[in-house]
């Protein structure tokens, strides 16, 4: 049992033992990095609960060893949501399948043996212990009903989480299933800001593309209107030309009618002249016959 955790009859399942989550900044940074990146990894899974430094009560019997508050734990099959502690009998009796512990200088060998026994007893499937001060990683995987150590650690991929571990000479690196490295909160904030800036740039590019497309559409519309105006002007010019042609044809018709009337008048004049000449000839012939008969046609009484 946690020696710092006293049983209170009025609160048999306390949510804190008063101890800090971490003893130094290095331990704290690693706890936050692991927990936050696991939260991000399963952000779209409503049935995966991720917590850090949360008391886990596996059974309602407070006299058993524990409870323990893993530095980070993952529970598949339970909904997300706030909890003051994880009381397994209230969680469909589903315990954490994966737990992480980040060592501090005060962690004793006995304390770590007790934690291993606790996690082994209550069904943890994968147990990871990282000592950042000495850059040492230990992994236990449940096999044949018992947590057993993994000997080949470098490049190990978690069966449950899909994350990969790589122990470099300087530090531990953890990669998500897509190959992206786990990042610190500061790095995550920078990445989020970079993503926001990229999204903003994409939005601005999309708006610029839309504006260019809109300008092209307006130009095309203007060109269409200009073409329609040109066509309308051409049609109006054709109509004017047709009207001018019609007026010219009508003028030609009027001129033809006038010419015809003039020709008819000339013909009438010619006929009148010809008739007058014929009358004159007849009068002359008559005068000649009268003279032949001794009658002077020019005498007043017609006698010679």
Q: Give the lowest-confidence range in 49-58, 114-123, 151-160.
A: 151-160
CA distance 43 to 45: 6
In a domain, 89, yes or no: yes
In a domain, 274, yes or no: no
- Find the domain containing 126 and state its range: 25-183
Give the pLDDT of residue 304: 55
In a domain, 147, yes or no: yes
Neighbouring-strand partners of residue 149:
140
Give the pLDDT of residue 35: 97
| Mean pLDDT score, 206-230 | 93
In a domain, 255, yes or no: no
Identify the band that residue 295 occupies on the pLDDT scale cut at 50, 70 and 90. confident
Identify the band that residue 284 occupies on the pLDDT scale cut at 50, 70 and 90. confident
Asked if 296 contacts 302 with a C-beta cutoff of 8 angstroms, the reply is yes
CATH assignment at residue 72: 3.90.1570.10
pLDDT digit string (tens) for 70-129? 999 999 999 999 999 999 999 999 999 999 999 998 889 999 999 999 999 999 999 999
In a domain, 229, yes or no: no
| Mean pLDDT score, 211-230 | 93
Within 10 Å of residue 138's Cβ, how many Cβ atoms?
Answer: 16
CA distance 205 to 286: 118
In a domain, 160, yes or no: yes
Give the pLDDT of residue 36: 96
How many domains, in total, are found in the chain?
A: 1
Choose between 278 and 303: higher pLDDT.
278
Q: What is the Cα 203 distance to its own chain's centre?
A: 9
Give the pTM: 0.64
Give the pLDDT of residue 248: 87
| Mean pLDDT score, 263-276 | 87
In a domain, 119, yes or no: yes
- 112: exposed, middle or buried (C-beta count within 10 Å: 0-12, 13-18, 19+)? middle
What's the mean per-residue pLDDT of the chain?
89
In a domain, 266, yes or no: no
Choose between 176 and 274: higher pLDDT.
176
Give the pLDDT of residue 160: 97
pLDDT over 70 for what percent of the chain? 90
């Amino acid at each position: 049992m946690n020696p710092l955790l006293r049983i209170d009859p009025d609160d048999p399942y306390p949510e804190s033992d008063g101890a800090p989550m971490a003893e130094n900044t290095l331990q704290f940074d690693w706890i936050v990095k692991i927990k936050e990146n696991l939260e991000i990894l399963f952000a779209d899974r409503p049935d995966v609960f991720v917590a850090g430094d949360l008391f886990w009560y596996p059974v309602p019997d407070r006299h058993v060893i524990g409870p323990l508050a893993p530095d980070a734990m993952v529970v598949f099959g339970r909904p997300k949501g706030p909890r003051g502690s994880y009381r397994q009998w209230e969680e469909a009796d589903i315990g954490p399948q994966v737990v992480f512990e980040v060592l501090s200088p005060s962690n004793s060998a006995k304390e770590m043996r007790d934690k291993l026994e606790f996690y082994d007893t209550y069904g943890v499937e994968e147990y990871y212990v990282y000592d950042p001060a000495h850059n040492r990683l230990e992994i236990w995987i449940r096999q044949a009903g018992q947590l057993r150590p993994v000997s080949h650690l470098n490049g190990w991929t978690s069966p449950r989480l899909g994350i990969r571990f790589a122990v470099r000479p300087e530090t531990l690196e953890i990669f998500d299933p897509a190959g992206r490295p786990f990042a610190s909160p500061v790095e995550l904030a920078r990445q989020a800001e970079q993503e926001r800036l990229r999204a903003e740039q994409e939005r601005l590019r999309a708006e610029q593309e839309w504006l260019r497309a809109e300008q092209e559409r307006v130009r095309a519309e203007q060109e269409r209107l200009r073409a329609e105006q040109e066509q309308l002007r051409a049609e109006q010019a054709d109509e004017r030309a047709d009207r001018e042609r019609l007026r010219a044809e009508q003028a030609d018709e009027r001129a033809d009618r006038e010419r015809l009337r003039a020709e008819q008048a000339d013909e009438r004049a010619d006929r009148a002249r010809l008739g007058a000449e014929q009358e004159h000839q007849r009068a002359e012939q008559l005068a000649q016959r009268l003279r032949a008969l001794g009658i002077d046609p020019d005498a007043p009484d017609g006698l010679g």
